[in-house]
Chains A and B, each alone.
Chain A
């Protein structure tokens, strides 16, 4: 499967715990984007990363959220001390390099905070 992979697909955490969401980009893609889809809301940009670099994190809450895309391995979106309002679907997308860098999305991780 050469598509974008995300795991886990479903994650349940109690308030105060940490959530780690993983994303492996499509083969050949070096750009990764994270988006969040809240219930009854549209997809919102969170962060854009290239290998070992955060390019734009303007859509990510300043506290408790962090993202990385190491030289080896998947991109990780980390949420510390989760709260109920963090419950959402988190999508990762990847793109290659081009005049119009089309973004291809993974199946998402559904985070539920109890």
Chain B
């Protein structure tokens, strides 16, 4: 099983501030996916990064895949209360279907 470590575990910030969440592994992944999960709901896919060094932007969210494809980061600019949630990174096994998930980062944005 390929392990993904996320940091920090918890993050609480004021509305308007920026934040970065990290996802690291000692293994190489063919791709990494970021999900956001709200209490009582299933994870919602935000983005998939595939190429080493790739940067993807989704409105105020910027996702980066490390050059060696072992790590990724999620940066949120000018966070809003609606960004509150559990952010999960996940990567497929060598078989490309079994997703391994990080433990997640719980983000709280205070109004």
Contact = CB atoms under 8 A, between A and B. Distances in A.
17 contacts: A4-B42, A31-B97, A33-B97, A33-B99, A35-B101, A43-B101, A44-B101, A56-B97, A59-B98, A95-B97, A100-B30, A100-B31, A103-B99, A104-B45, A105-B44, A107-B42, A110-B40
B10 to A, nearest CB: 13
Contacts of A56: 95, 97-98
B98 A45 contact: yes
Interface residues of B, number: 24
Interface secondary structure of B, over-half rule: loop
Question: How large, as a class, is the contact surface on chain A?
Answer: 20 to 34
Contacts of B45: 102-105
Interface string B16-48: 000000000000001101010000111111001
Contacts of A91: 42-43
Interface of B: 30-31, 33, 35, 40-45, 48, 50, 88, 90, 95-104
B30 to A, nearest CB: 7
B97 A43 contact: no
A96 to B, nearest CB: 12
